[in-house]
Amino acid sequence: MFTVDGATYTRLDAQGTFRALGPWWQQLTAGRDAAAAWPIARRLIDEMERRLGVEVAATDPIVAVTRLGQLAQHDPDPAVLEIALTSLREAAGALRAAGALAPTAHGTVEQLNTSDGGVPKSPVDVVEVDVCGVVGDRQAVRRHHGRPWQALCIWSADVIDELAAGGHPIAPGRAGENVTVRGLPWADVRAGVHLQIGEVQAEVSVFALPCATNAQWFLHRDFERMHHERGPVSRVYASVRRGGRIVTGDPVVLEP
């Protein structure tokens, strides 16, 4: 285990993070005026090539970062991991400064959910959150979950309502989100944005990919119905920048 940016990573966590680098950059920049992010991506590529002792033949920065992440996972170096995560945060900050991220919006906490592993998660009135996520919550399978940038899983009550109205037997907490929010423009809740949730400050990292565990909540077991490629319907993962307490009904602010 090693510590990066105040959070503890296992070797498995680090490997999964390196595999996610390409998709993370793609989600951060897709559909945005991302000019401010590309110099940061280029510096990251140069530094990873230098530290890994390789040179990837790719002019597309997303392709280059993806290949370098795949190489870096084989022998995870905490220094390289820290550089990669810092670069992503700097790129999000540069996009924010350039006006490429979402405008401020307001919502509320509809429901808070925890479990001892697996789904559905059960509603609770209040949670304490630290850099690892909701205190007392647990992921049954750590291979795909539980990394520091997946500390919180967040979903939209408005999206859930639309799915339920279409006949899907879905409800808050069933798909495993920790925080169900209402009232935010869900298309704007994506990689790079900040969320103030009660006392907690979070930064959205990536979309949460659907898995077969959640097939039971969808007609014809079509759990891909909540894949981000199907529109603004996906759950998101977020890292915790400042922990604290969240109570059901607390305000939620997008890009405070």
**pLDDT cut 70: percent of the chain above it:** 97
Cα–Cα distance measured from residue 20 to residue 156, given in angstroms and rounded to the nearest whole number: 23
User: Per-residue pLDDT for 209 more than 90?
Assistant: yes
Q: What is the CATH number of domain 105-254?
A: 2.40.33.20
Give the pLDDT confidence of 15-36 residue by residue, as tens digits. 999 999 999 999 999 999 999 9
User: Per-residue pLDDT for 9 more than 90?
Assistant: yes
Give the pLDDT confidence of 165-178 residue by residue, as tens digits. 999 999 999 999 99
DSSP H or E stretch at residue 105: strand 105-114
Classify the C-alpha dihedral 213-223-145-239 as positive or negative.
negative
- CA of 85: how far to CAs of 148, 183, 205, in Å? 11, 30, 10
DSSP H or E stretch at residue 179: strand 179-182
Cα–Cα distance measured from residue 255 to residue 28, given in angstroms and rounded to the nearest whole number: 15
Identify the band that residue 114 occupies on the pLDDT scale cut at 50, 70 and 90.
very high
Per-residue pLDDT at 5:
82
Please provide residue 163's backbone torsions phi and psi, each rounded to the nearest 5 degrees: -65, -45
Domain ranges in the chain with CATH number 2.40.33.20 = 105-254
What does the block give as tokens for 195?
């969320």
Per-residue pLDDT at 197:
98
Identify the band that residue 117 occupies on the pLDDT scale cut at 50, 70 and 90.
confident
CB-based contact 192:237 (threshold 8 Å)? no
Per-residue pLDDT at 138:
79
DSSP state for residue 121 in the 8-state scheme: P
Identify the band that residue 142 occupies on the pLDDT scale cut at 50, 70 and 90.
low
Q: Minimal CA–CA distance to 201: which of 136, 252, 135, 145?
A: 252
